[in-house]
Amino acid sequence: MKIIIKNGMVISMDCKKDMYTYDDVVIEDDKIIYVGNNYNEYCDKVIDAKGKIVMPGLINCHTHLGMSIFRASNDNYTLDKWLNEYIWPIEDNMTDDDMYYTTLLSIVEMIKTGTTCFNDMYFNWKGSFKAFDKIGIRGVYGRCLIGNGNEWDNKVNDFNNLYNCNKNNLIKLSIAPHSLYTVDSDGLIESELLASKYKLPIHIHLSEDMDEVNTIKNKYNMLPVNVLDKYKLLNHKLIIAHGTYISEGEIELLRDKDVSICTNPISNLNLGCGIADINMYKNNGINICLGTDGVGSGNNMNMFYHMSMLDNLQKGKYKDSTVMSSYDVLKIATINGAHALGMDREIGSIEVGKKADIIIVDINDIEMCPCVNPIVQIVHNGWYNSVDTTIVNGNILMDNKKLNVDINIDELSKKINNIRERLMR
């Protein structure tokens, strides 16, 4: 199958090119085979992107896809109370079937809002993988490892089962110890051993709020990043989710490592955690990527909204509108995310030889009028209706704003509401 996208404004995120160009983009099967002018060979499908932006799919580097039943559920809870009294007791009762539908809902939301790759951490992987297999979206999945003793061992066994069963070539795996406050030192040692044994990256929540930082300081008599260093977790292409409170001293430790910090600005605000000093991390050479977190605290999976918030928060925090540009933010949501996931040779930009994970964004709607600077418009005014087409691995999952997946959306919504009513009774 050969597809040509013509007449669009291409924001390729290819550092060798201008910020935007007017090129044809040609896809053959799963790959981009041409980016340039006047492609004249036969193509099976022609997409006319006149008046639209063609860009790499967005990469959401911290998700809990199965949490869609908890959408916008946090109101007046602290992080600790919300997890312990609300989320975790309900999650314990979720079946594989529940997880299939809740994951499916998140995937549909990602397709509609231009996300083509995710980095998830959750449990009941059989349900989630059924959804991944059905749609064909790209991602990294970490079976959440949490607790101690038998509880921990059961979860590691479950991860080993997943490792042996995963046949989905679009989904890679990670080792996902939940956090330093829910995993003890034995668990950290075993996480490092698993990452070494399977040569997988590690994905962990860290320093989400100051209470957590103080808990870890009291427990280990050192700061959270020092704990990660002590247990050698920094050596495994680590992705730190949140990192709201990482000191300059800790950043020094991260500078020479292949570690990424995935900021989740909406979730951090919603749970009253605060605002991460992303500008300081970035200026110290740390790879920054962006996540929505689960929709319980992140509210939605629309990465455009989270991009806008990230940009505005840093400008507000510094009282300086020059600390971050919209192009910086687009990098964070595309090529930096690809780097964090170890996939920057495959995705994150529109370049010949890369996988065809591409979105087309409609800039004709009133919220983008007048479109003087398309990059600023994309970051600040992209919304649900803005994404016109979503392509993952060469497959068109949304075509001209119509979902191209085998799902009845009305039935899916009913299922989700039924699951929510049953579990929250």
Question: Which residue stretch of 71-79, 112-120, 287-295, 353-361 sits at the interface with Zn ion (rule: CB under 5 A)?
Answer: 287-295
Q: Which is nearer to Zn ion, 190 or 293 (CB)?
A: 293
How big is the site for Zn ion, counted in residues (CB under 5 A)?
A: 1
Query: In the complex, what is the shortest distance from the CB of residue 102 to Zn ion, in angstroms, rounded to a whole number?
Result: 15
Residue 161 CB, nearest approach to Zn ion (Å):
23
| CB nearer to Zn ion: pick between 245 and 326 | 245
| Pairing relationship of beta strands 58-63 and 52-56 according to DSSP bridges | unpaired
DSSP 292-351: ---HHHH----HHHHHHHHHHHHHHHHT-TTS--HHHHHHHHTHHHHHHTT-TTTSSS--
Query: Both tokens of residue 114?
Result: 């231009």
| Residue 362 φ then ψ, to 5° | -85, 120
Q: Using the rule CB under 5 A, give the single segment among 37-45, 214-222, 291-299, 380-388 that binds Zn ion.
A: 291-299
The two tokens of residue 149 are 């003793």
Alpha carbon 363 to its chain centroid, in Å, reads 24
Q: With respect to Zn ion, which residue has the nearer C-beta, 119 or 302?
A: 119
Minimum CB distance to Zn ion, residue 293 (Å): 5
Q: Which two structure tokens, joined as six digits, stand for 356?
A: 């065809």
Q: Which of residues 93-122 bind Zn ion (CB under 5 A)?
A: none
Residue with tokens 């020059």: 322
* Residue with smaller CB distance to Zn ion, 293 or 311: 293
Nearest CA-CA partner of 141 in 239, 263, 229:
239
Q: Is 209 in the site for Zn ion (CB under 5 A)?
A: no
Q: Rounded to the nearest whole angstrom, what is the least distance from the CB of residue 294 to Zn ion in the complex?
A: 6
Binding of Zn ion by 293 (CB under 5 A): yes
* Nearest residue (beta carbon) to Zn ion: 293
Tell me the window of 14-22, 249-257, 292-300, 374-382 that interacts with Zn ion (CB under 5 A).
Answer: 292-300
Q: How far apart are CA 371 and CA 373, in angstroms?
A: 6
In the complex, what is the shortest distance from the CB of residue 29 to Zn ion, in angstroms, rounded to a whole number?
A: 34
Distance between terminal CA atoms of the chain? 49
Cα dihedral: 320, 321, 323, 324 (round 10): 160
Per CB under 5 A, the segment of 129-137, 293-301, 405-413, 414-422 that binds Zn ion is 293-301
Identify the helix (H) or strand (E) that includes residue 420.
helix 409-423
Return the biggest CA–CA distance within the chain. Answer: 66
Edge-to-edge order in the sheet of strand 387-392? 9-10, 52-56, 358-362, 387-392, 395-399, 402-403
Which of 159, 203, 107 lies closest to 398, judged by CA?
A: 107
User: Would you say 192 or 293 has its CB closer to Zn ion?
Assistant: 293
323-382 residues near Zn ion, rule: CB under 5 A:
none
Of the two residues 293 and 362, which places its CB atom closer to Zn ion in the complex?
Answer: 293
Q: Which stretch binds Zn ion (CB under 5 A): 35-43, 146-154, 173-181, 286-294?
A: 286-294
Nearer to Zn ion, 67 or 338 (CB): 67
Interface of this chain with Zn ion, residues 6 to 45, rule: CB under 5 A: none
Does residue 91 belong to the site contacting Zn ion (CB under 5 A)?
no
Q: Which is nearer to Zn ion, 277 or 293 (CB)?
A: 293
CB of 241 to Zn ion, least distance (A): 5
How far apart are the C-alpha atoms of 244 and 210, rounded to whole Å?
Answer: 8
**Nearer residue to Zn ion within complex by CB, 176 or 360:** 176
Q: Which residues bind Zn ion (CB under 5 A)?
A: 293
